[in-house]
Homo-oligomer: A and B are copies of this chain.
Amino acid sequence: MPEFRQNLATKEWVILAAGRAKRPNDFAKDQTPRPSLPPYKNDCPFCRGNESLTAEPVYVLRRNGDWQVRVVPNKFAALQPTLDTARTLVGSFLSVAGFGIAEVIIEHPLHNQTLATMAVDDVAALLRTYRQRQTAISRDDKVNLVTIFRNHGARAGTSLEHPHSQIIATPIVPPHVRYPWEQAVMYYDQHGSCVYCDLMREEIRQQVRIIIETDHFVAFCPFAARSPYETRIYPKRHMASFISVRDDELTDMAAVLQTVLARLYHCVGNPDYNYIIRSAAIGDDDTRHLHWYMVIIPKISTPAGFEMGSGIYINSLAPEDAALCLRETKIVP
């Protein structure tokens, strides 16, 4: 029987219509097998040996005389760091100059790596780089929001094979970010607690949607998952911003992230996906009502007119079944 489910934090609704669903393992069959990649490509600007094809890096993490992670300005940036943030009226419409910082994080020297198959140490290096960049970029007075994300595969919006993430910093905090913030404030004032902490505790209490739980993190398919295999990784300690995460927590998170992505890879057939770190706007780092987390969204279903019109997503796989499938997936090295 179909049901509506509400996201406790954002108050958004989904329709869980699992009756129409394929079985969890059927989703894997829908994935187009990817060609296997070489470790090096002549014309790939992100490959070791081709460093001259990118702009000067803004940050490099090194290991044994080689680079491990390399951060460069995005050559095809939609925003420009040299612009200002002047607001202008075009008639009665508001426009702001396109200031922004856009960086590409090259995750590995080798072309044929991906987080799902990478060593946990490499994933930890990537997360440390995220934190370093978010911290550094946040010092720019014109920046109000830093978004860290990864697009994996064409359906997730990238055609670049070499493993990479992106950071975009904007002077704008949009309603899309403010609305959940307002809900979180109202919840805090009503309940005296962070809604994300409460949501996580409730997921842990119910257990059925948990994929993996460690000392510092929990990964789960949320009660109101918008699409099959949507996964969230929450830090257990209350923190509004990713810049507050500690070294020991990052090491723990690397293992959790690597495990989740490896299980998705094996359970769902290396699907295209996006992941995003949702973190408080600059200056709200210490707020008591927000909580940073990572959301992983495999690109399995296609949002259509109904989703775009109503904002209600139809999910054909119960998150309980998705989590079970991911829990039981054995990684064959």
- By a beta-carbon cutoff of 8 Å, the part of chain A in contact with chain B is 1-6, 8, 10-13, 15-17, 20, 76, 78-80, 83, 90-98, 100, 145, 147, 149-151, 154-158, 166, 168, 170-172, 174-177, 179, 198, 202, 205-206, 223-224, 274-278, 297, 302-306, 308-312, 314
Q: Is the CB of B310 within 8 A of A91?
A: no
In contact, B98 and A4 (Cβ under 8 angstroms): yes
* Contact in complex: B158, A93 (CB < 8 Å): no
Q: Do B149 and A306 touch across chains, with their CB atoms under 8 A apart?
A: yes
A277 CA to B306 CA, complexed, in Å: 10
Q: Which of A91, A310, A314 has the most CB of B within 10 A?
A: A310
5 contacts between A and B (CB under 8 A): A3-B97, A4-B172, A8-B92, A91-B205, A168-B310
Residue contact A3 to B95, C-beta cutoff 8 Å: yes
Q: List B contacts of A156 (CB < 8 A).
A: 302, 304-305
Q: Are B94 and A150 in contact (CB under 8 A)?
A: no
Seed contacts A4-B98, A174-B312, A274-B308; 6 additional CB < 8 Å A-B pairs? A1-B97, A5-B96, A13-B96, A17-B78, A93-B224, A176-B310
The A interface is mostly helix, strand or loop, or mixed, namely mixed
Do the beta carbons of A176 and B78 come within 8 Å of each other? no
Select from chain B the residue with minimum beta-carbon distance to A4: B96
Assess whether A20 is in contact with B76, with CB atoms less than 8 Å apart: yes
Chain B residue numbers with a CB within 8 Å of A224 are: 93
Docked Cα-Cα span, A170 to B280, in Å, equals: 33
Select one of B6, B154, B177, B309 contacting A310, CB under 8 A: B177
Rounded to whole Å, the gap between the CB of A305 and the closest CB of chain B is 3
Q: Which residues of B contact A274 (CB under 8 A)?
A: 304-305, 308
The answer to whether B3 and A311 touch across the interface, beta carbons within 8 angstroms, is no
Say whether B11 contacts A314, CB under 8 Å.
no
CA distance A31 to B205 in the complex (A): 49
**Roughly how many angstroms separate A95 CA and B14 CA in the complex, as a whole number?**
10
- A78-B15, A92-B8, A311-B175 known; A306+B3 contact, CB < 8 A: no
A275 near B310: Cβ-Cβ < 8 Å: no
A157 lies within 8 A of B276 (CB)? no
Among A90, A177, A305, chain B packs the most CB atoms within 10 A around the CB of A305
| Alpha-carbon gap, A6 to B93, bound state (A) | 7
